[in-house]
Amino acid sequence: MSGNQGSEAGRPRLIALDWGTSSLRGFLMGKDAGIIDQRASSHGIQNLPEPGIPGFEKAFAALCGPWLARWPDLPVVAGGMVGSAQGWVEAPYVPCPADVAELARHAGRVTTADGRTILIAPGVIDDPADAPPDVMRGEEIQIAGALADNPSLAERASIIMPGTHSKWVSIAASRITHFDTYMTGEVFAVMTTHSILGRLMTSPAEGTTADPAAADAAFCQGVLAARESRAGDLLNQLFSVRTLGLTKRLSGLVLRDYLSGLLIGQELTSGLARLKQSSATLPPIVLIGDDRLCSSYRRAMALFDITPAALLGNTAPSGLFRFAAATGMLQRA
């Protein structure tokens, strides 16, 4: 639950909380966003020790108590679903274009029972005239971290954040100028778990492992089918997960990979077309997120002749540090 990762970061300056739906992660941070210590708990906002405000108080005290006992005056920031309508306090979405200074200007603020103030990062809304609105909460903090740690991206980049709700985020001059959400991960999960498509999916027999080459071939088959698809075809292509299984052309062991390829391929088809439409030359494309998922996206992108400029891991701690700095609270500490 704890691990010293950066003694060079010196004395603690900040407690940063990445507080999502299903987990709470805390970072004890020193100068230059160095991580001195970290702790995690399962107290996501939908899994608090008790309902409502007291639940947030208790989860916070349980995670950060050991740090605060030693450094009682450390400032605290939090980002993620903790700032949603179901969170500790709602920090309403700020509109695009938005940079970390804008996030700081619209920080939410909660005061604990013992008088401590915590600043909470707002989400971001993109609300173009010609399309439905889109929202993010948590990703804006990861982006702030990615741009601070990789200054070359700040001028112009497209950041893809694969996941339950993948985000495609356009960056210009350090600001989030536009973004699109794709429900790729959630559609994969519900179709696998709750639709007929899961019925033919199998797992390797006890003591054996999946064949990586067969899984990769099925994944690529899905990506290529999606790449050649036209508008509306996904609802038809999904059924091929069943028919390729029924006719034994794909083993039940790789139907998940094929479905994953179909869905990621659909996301890339749409996302890349939109990028190409919005500018003559593609911006550098960066992937942020879980290693394994980013690798799948990189594999799929190769089939579109696209190479990501970088794959970044968890940039949330760095982003929370930049957010705290932008609020001015680190000067006061």
Site residues, a copy of itself (CB under 8 A): 125, 127, 132-135, 165, 180-184, 186-187, 190-191, 193-196, 225-226, 229-240, 243-244, 246-247, 249, 263, 265-271, 273
> Minimum distance between the CB of residue 180 and a copy of itself, rounded to whole angstroms?
5
Between residues 54 and 92, which has the closer beta carbon with respect to a copy of itself? 92
Between residues 101 and 303, which has the closer beta carbon with respect to a copy of itself? 303
If phi > 0 it is left, if psi is from -120 to 50 it is alpha, else beta; for residue 248 that is left
> Minimum distance between the CB of residue 193 and a copy of itself, rounded to whole angstroms?
7
Backbone angles phi, psi at 67, to 5 degrees: -70, -45
> Minimum distance between the CB of residue 18 and a copy of itself, rounded to whole angstroms?
20
Between residues 57 and 134, which has the closer beta carbon with respect to a copy of itself? 134
> Minimum distance between the CB of residue 166 and a copy of itself, rounded to whole angstroms?
8
Between residues 6 and 198, which has the closer beta carbon with respect to a copy of itself? 198
Give the count of beta carbons closer than 10 Å to the beta carbon of residue 127.
12
Between residues 31 and 242, which has the closer beta carbon with respect to a copy of itself? 242
> Minimum distance between the CB of residue 248 and a copy of itself, rounded to whole angstroms?
11
Half-sphere exposure of 233 (CA within 13 A, CB side): 17
Between residues 273 and 302, which has the closer beta carbon with respect to a copy of itself? 273
> Minimum distance between the CB of residue 217 and a copy of itself, rounded to whole angstroms?
15
> Minimum distance between the CB of residue 154 and a copy of itself, rounded to whole angstroms?
25
Between residues 59 and 197, which has the closer beta carbon with respect to a copy of itself? 197
Between residues 152 and 279, which has the closer beta carbon with respect to a copy of itself? 279
> Minimum distance between the CB of residue 196 and a copy of itself, rounded to whole angstroms?
7
CA pair distance 253, 91, nearest whole angstrom: 44
